[in-house]
Amino acid sequence: MISPRSREFTVLFRNKLFITPTLATVIGTFVVVTAAAILIVQAITSANVVRQLGGGLVDLGMDTAESAFVEQLHAVTETANYTRASWALGELTFDDPDLLVTFIYGALAPQDRVSFMVMVDAQGIGVDVDRGDAEGDLLGGEVDLAAEIPSLVPVTEKAAGQKEPFWSEPLYMPGRKHTYFIYAQPLYEGESYRGALMIGMSLERISDMTWNISTDDIIIFLMKQDSHEIVAHPLLYENFEDLSADSPLLHVSQISDLFLSDYAEMEKINNADYDIADNLDLHTGYDRDGEKRFIIVDQESESLKGLPARIGVHFPAEFLDQPLQTLLIAIVVGLGLLLVSLLGAILLARRIARPVRRAALAAKEVADLKLDEVEPLPPSVIRELDDLAKGFNAMVGGLTAFNRYVPRTLVQKLLSEGRAEAPPEDREVAVLFTDIAGFTAASEGMSASQTAAFVNHHLSLLGAEITRQGGTIDKYIGDSVMAFWGAPDHLENPAEQAARAALGMAEAIQRDNETRQERGEPPVRIRVGVHMGPLVVGDIGAPERVNYTVIGDTVNAAARLESLGKEIDDSAEVMILVSGDVAKNLGADFKQEEIGPQKVKGKAEPIDVVRLLPPPDPASRHSS
């Protein structure tokens, strides 16, 4: 019978958490949260740093390339400004061609990226100094544009209409079979147009600039403003023969750079992905070897002194991707370490939980008083767990010794009812006494150890039947047993269970005697007395030592019934005598033999005595 308190405990226990998953979850959660937070912060911070670094490198590279062009273009614009100033001061005049040629010689000599300089008056008459052969020797003399260089006439016509210098559109000069950009500086006297200085830069010489600042991996080029036409490229010289008046510039798809030639079809990338400035166009594609590359083109290169071109560069993708890939690898490694940490946390939790769980299971067995099933707790490297194991093992050792002297069933029943003590109370209890007939004479031929072994074996047989029928063993008195039913647990019919225990004892003795006879030993004969009545039951004794027992006349009557057995039939193998109070509470399946009223010692009135006989069906002896 399970008490309400035990049932409540069982329900609560089922709702409890198990230590291993709980520890693993708690420790693992702390590890995951901590490591993940660090990893996320590190990843975000590193990603921002990597992107900013990549964007900074791109900006720096573009600025460096731009500076290389600006340096050359600055020389051109400064030459034009100086010429205009000299003209305004009257230091130069179209009336002295030799002076003009000498002046232009000096201006052109240091500018190796300039192809020619022409200075003409409003009628297109003036001087021309050209960087001639491949050695760069300067050639100069007088010139008539309309007759000798008609391609430049439209430039002078535009110069006659404005005072500010300007770069021309790409101009293909048939006589030179090449394309040029012309920087024109109008020359005025007051409001009157007097002529112009024209400084020509060929695609070849501009491309030389890109060749000088490019590397095997990084290719610098110039692309015409608002167009996909190429102004300068390290490999453009391979396509100069394709230039013409109709195509002064080549489309990007026409050049020898097989990667850049696919620019128009390339995927455009979001600048924010690499923290690239908004004024740059970022594209990506794959070269003929399947290697990924990036192309960055300035949307408008304002620092090129008005040259209608924009700077571009293409380079291996690893220049930008490698830091991100490295970061990705670091994140993967971090996640791997996080997983290892999580597994470590689980293993640690299991390592910590194993001895605790083992102690919990052992404690449960101790609570059930199954001390013989409790395995000693092993030592631990953790001091607290090691102290727990030592203390627990010592406790189990003490309880094992204590359990030899206190009935386990009694303690279990008290615990099941939620009681640690049992104050005396009145109960209707059935009491049973047993005794071995002729034990004194039988033990005279035994040694002390043989006597102890015989008694222990005999009492274990009887005790097993008492326990099987829910009885409480009060005490062992030599070779005798005193037991009772109806306390501490409440029974509807304690007499029936006491009677069934007595019949079970008879069967156990009969089987044991068969074994003894096979060994040539004499049979054991016992007497059993059972009586039921009101008793005082509970903790009886001094404060420092008590026994849970029963006291009252019912105990004496049960003992007298056991003694009466030798008068009824001294030769019986098992003699079971019960009082009439017990017999009237037994069912029809109990075989009874009426003995009648008997006078017993200590009782003024005779007791109705009934002898119990084993039933025809032995199996019924174990029914309840």
| DSSP letter string, 90-118 | TS--TT-HHHHHHHHHHHHTT-TT--EEE
**For residue 506, what are the β-bridge partners?**
none
| pLDDT at residue 435 in the model | 94
Provide the pLDDT for residue 622.
44
Residue 134 has pLDDT above 60, yes or no: no
CB 23 within 8 Å of CB 353: yes
Q: Phi, psi at residue 140, to the nearest 5°?
A: -145, 165
* Tokens 């590359």 belong to residue: 293
Structure tokens at 244: 């013409």
Q: Report the range of poorest mean pLDDT among 66-80, 350-364, 406-420.
A: 406-420
Nearest to 178 by CA among 207, 157, 153, 154: 207
Nearest residue to 410 (alpha-carbon basis) of 479, 483, 481, 460: 483
Residue 220 predicted with pLDDT over 50: yes
Confidence of residue 17 (pLDDT cuts 50, 70, 90): low
**What mean pLDDT do residues 568-584 have?**
93
Predicted confidence at residue 327, as pLDDT, reads: 57
Domain boundaries, the chain: 419-622
| Most distant CA pair in the chain, distance | 173
Between CA 457 and CA 447 the distance in angstroms is: 15
More confident residue, 409 or 145: 145
What is the tens place of the pLDDT at every residue in 513-556? 999 999 998 999 999 999 999 999 888 877 767 778 899 999 99
Question: Residue 139: beta bridge partners?
Answer: 130
Distance (Å, rounded) from C-alpha 140 to C-alpha 127? 7
Residues 6+ apart with CB under 8 A from 215: none
Q: Please check the confidence at residue 187 and state whether its pLDDT lies above 60.
A: yes
Distances (CA, A) of 23 to 306, 344, 351: 72, 12, 10
- Which pLDDT band, with edges at 50, 70 and 90, does 31 fall under? low
pLDDT at 445: 77
d(CA 11, CA 117): 103
Q: Is residue 500 scored above 50 in pLDDT?
A: yes
In whole angstroms, what is the distance from residue 320 CA to residue 58 CA?
9
- Give the per-residue pLDDT at 352: 72
Backbone angles phi, psi at 207, to 5 degrees: -65, -30
For residue 340, how many C-alpha atoms fall within 13 Å in the half-sphere facing its CB? 6
Cβ-contact 209, 187 below 8 angstroms: no
Written as one string, the DSSP assignment of 230-252 is EEE-TTGGGGGGG--SS-SSEEG
What does pLDDT average to over the chain? 83
| pLDDT score, position 12 | 43
**Per-residue pLDDT for 409 more than 80?**
no
CA 41, 45, 47 angle in degrees (round to 5)?
115
- Cα 578 from Cα 584, distance rounded (Å): 10
Contact 197, 119 (CB under 8 A): yes
Q: What is the pTM of this model?
A: 0.51
Q: What is the CA radius of gyration of the chain?
A: 59
Q: Which residue has the higher pLDDT, 489 or 162?
A: 162
Averaged over 378-385, what is the pLDDT?
Answer: 78
Helices (H), strands (E): how many in the chain? Answer: 14, 22
Residue bearing the bigger pLDDT, 254 or 395: 254
Mean per-residue pLDDT for 274-285? 85
Q: What is the pLDDT of residues 160-173, one digit of tens each?
A: 999 999 999 999 99
- Angstrom CA distances, 368 to 1, 356, 417, 421, stand at 15, 18, 13, 17
Q: How confident is the model at residue 489 (pLDDT cuts 50, 70, 90)?
A: confident
Q: For residue 565, count other CB atoms closer than 10 A to its CB.
A: 25
Q: Residue 36's pLDDT is what?
A: 64
Most confident of 45-59, 108-122, 335-349, 603-617: 108-122
Asked whether residue 427 carries a pLDDT value surpassing 50, the answer given is yes
Rounded CA gap, 442 and 27, in Å?
69
Fold adopted by 419-622: Alpha-Beta Plaits (3.30.70)
Task: Please provide the DSSP assignment of 557-618 as one string.
Answer: HHHHHHHHHHHH-TT-SEEEEEEHHHHTTS-TTSEEEEEEEE--TT-SS-EEEEEEE--SSG
pLDDT given at position 403: 61
pLDDT digits (tens, 9 = 90+) for 459-481: 999 999 999 999 999 999 989 99
